[in-house]
């Protein structure tokens, strides 16, 4: 059974920064500690973990999602594999240091109690345009006993779907990873989805349509099966920062069944990402809350108190849409009250000094260009105990804040019921989207190359080339005309000298 399995889900709209600049240290996001938030629900001690009162043990499964991962032209062209590989290494290097990060004394636990660096196997890195989703399993056995998560993996599949321009392109959409674990003689399925839905305050209906398209077209086919991980020997604890340059050789992938699965064909579903639902200023909020004007929203944000956030949370578009019966979006998923858990995650001024966690400082750093909101979310379907849910305010390279959640799975969850059936056109639409992405991406990248990074300069150069080519084609004897022009210029130059 997956009972007791601990899962950490993290998401960050990184504003196309990968490949442009060095990323900040990721420890505060991926290994949250008690010092960051008094509401984190546990105490850290400099000793061996003792239930819920000791430092938190490393998760069995990590799922880390990015949106707007790299510059969009490169992302659409599909030339970001090196970035995906580089960030994978950085993520694994970060989470190896889990024990000393959560302990006050910054030391490892004794070796006899499972101390030492954490080893994680990459189960899959699903990526499509600007979306990337990494899923890792823990190689070390949990201190509570039993097999490691990596040793329990029986199958891994991936899928992608574009819902952007034309309903098919990858500027918006989702990526997914489906993991089958051995659970006491039977299989238990965990499915992770990283999504990026349509933007802008008034696009609620389009976001709802994006969700339906993701549910019906994010399909895990047999051919998407990934090689199973190989449990590695423990790495020398005296070299905690070292990770293998090359992963161990894996056996060839073999699907356990020749069946297509939807994202709802799972026991546990986790959805995260920039879902782009904002604070609504039209219509009532949850529980008949009176409508708010944009000026009221801005005034409440400027006040910067958690009480005001709780009021604003009643007008969170995602919560409103999910509360309608029958639910329009995120069916069977737990939708937490955002105002009780984190400040708004969007839209912030970028490039400022390290942010303070004071509610008043947070309010001052919100951009006046957009109505703020809890655009970045983590949702789950399973019966689980929420250990932590947090946005990390210290990161300032993006106009979004990263979020993270840790859940402990409790009890057995049945296979979910999909709200809609699989779209029979899913594969055709997927190929059409890939083709459109590549065409737009390569043309866009070529124009940027011609214009030294400027689309305006590239457009001017392209217009000049088109004009020159047109003149060459319509002129009766272009070579003679060019020679005459050059001769005239040469003569004029001699006269001036």
Residues 6+ apart with CB under 8 A from 29: 10, 12, 392, 395, 402, 404
Report pLDDT for 46: 33
List the one residue out of 376, 352, 324 whose CA is nearest residue 205: 324
Is a pLDDT exceeding 90 seen at residue 352? no
Strand, helix or coil at 94? helix
- The radius of gyration of the chain from alpha carbons, rounded to an integer in Å, stands at 26
Tens digits of residue pLDDT in 160-205: 999 999 999 999 999 999 999 998 888 999 999 999 999 998 899 9
- Confidence tier at 285 by pLDDT (50, 70, 90): confident
Cα torsion for 31, 33, 35, 40, to the nearest 10°? 120
Tens digits of residue pLDDT in 392-430: 888 889 999 999 999 999 877 899 999 999 999 999 999
Please give the average per-residue pLDDT across 307-323, as a whole number: 86
Tens digits of residue pLDDT in 25-51: 888 899 876 455 433 333 333 333 444
Report pLDDT for 452: 65
Of the candidate ranges 53-57, 114-118, 123-127, 339-343, the one whose mean pLDDT is the lowest: 53-57
Tens digits of residue pLDDT in 423-449: 999 999 999 999 999 999 998 888 888
List the one residue out of 139, 37, 136, 33 whose CA is nearest residue 91: 136
Please tell me the pTM assigned to this model: 0.86
Please give the average per-residue pLDDT across 456-461, as a whole number: 73
Report pLDDT for 296: 83
List the one residue out of 439, 438, 437, 463 whose CA is nearest residue 450: 463
d(CA 215, CA 421): 8
Report pLDDT for 336: 80
296's tokens: 């009221």
Report pLDDT for 358: 55
């Amino acid at each position: 059974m997956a009972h007791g399995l601990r899962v950490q889900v993290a998401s960050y709209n990184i504003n196309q920064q990968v490949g442009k600049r060095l990323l900040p240290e990721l420890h505060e996001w991926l290994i949250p500690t008690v010092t960051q938030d008094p509401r984190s629900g546990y105490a850290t001690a400099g000793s061996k973990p003792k239930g819920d009162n000791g430092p938190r043990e490393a998760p069995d499964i990590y799922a880390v999602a990015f949106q707007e991962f790299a510059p969009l032209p490169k992302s659409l062209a599909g030339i970001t594999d090196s970035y995906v590989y580089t960030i994978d290494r950085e993520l694994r290097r970060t989470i190896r240091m889990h024990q000393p990060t959560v302990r006050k004394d910054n030391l490892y636990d004794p070796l006899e109690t499972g101390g030492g660096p954490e080893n994680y196997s990459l189960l899959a890195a699903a990526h499509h345009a600007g979306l990337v989703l990494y899923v890792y399993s823990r190689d070390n056995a949990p201190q509570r006993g039993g097999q490691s998560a990596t040793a329990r993996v029986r199958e891994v599949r991936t899928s992608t779907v574009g819902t952007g321009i034309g309903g098919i392109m990858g500027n918006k959409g989702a990526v997914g990873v489906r993991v089958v674990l051995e659970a006491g003689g039977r299989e238990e399925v965990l499915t992770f989805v990283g999504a990026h839905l349509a933007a802008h305050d008034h696009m609620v209906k389009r976001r709802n349509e994006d969700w339906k398209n993701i549910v019906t077209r994010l399909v895990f086919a047999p051919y998407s099966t990934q090689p199973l991980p190989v449990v590695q020997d423990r790495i020398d604890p005296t070299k905690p920062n070292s990770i293998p340059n090359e992963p161990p050789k894996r056996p060839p992938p073999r699907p356990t069944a020749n069946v297509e699965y939807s994202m709802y064909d799972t026991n546990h579903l986790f959805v995260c990402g920039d879902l782009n639902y904002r604070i609504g200023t039209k219509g009532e909020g949850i529980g008949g809350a009176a409508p708010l004007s944009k000026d009221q929203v801005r005034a409440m944000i400027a006040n910067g108190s958690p009480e005001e956030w709780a009021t604003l949370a009643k007008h969170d578009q995602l919560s409103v849409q999910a509360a309608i019966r029958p639910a329009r979006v995120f069916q069977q998923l737990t939708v937490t009250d955002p105002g009780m858990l984190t400040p708004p995650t969007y839209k912030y001024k970028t490039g400022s000094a390290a942010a303070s966690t004071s509610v008043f400082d947070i309010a001052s750093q919100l951009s006046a260009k957009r109505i703020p909101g809890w655009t970045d979310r983590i949702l789950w379907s399973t019966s689980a105990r929420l250990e932590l849910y947090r946005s990390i305010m210290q990161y300032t390279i993006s106009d979004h804040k990263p979020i993270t959640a840790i859940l402990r799975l409790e009890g057995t969850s049945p296979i979910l019921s999909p709200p809609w059936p699989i779209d029979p056109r899913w594969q055709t639409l997927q190929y059409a989207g890939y083709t459109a992405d590549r065409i737009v991406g390569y043309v866009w990248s070529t124009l940027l190359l011609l214009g030294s990074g400027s689309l305006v300069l590239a457009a001017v150069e392209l217009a000049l080339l088109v004009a020159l080519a047109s003149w060459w084609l319509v002129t009766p004897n272009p070579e003679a005309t060019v020679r005459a022009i050059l001769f005239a210029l040469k003569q004029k130059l001699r006269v001036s000298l």
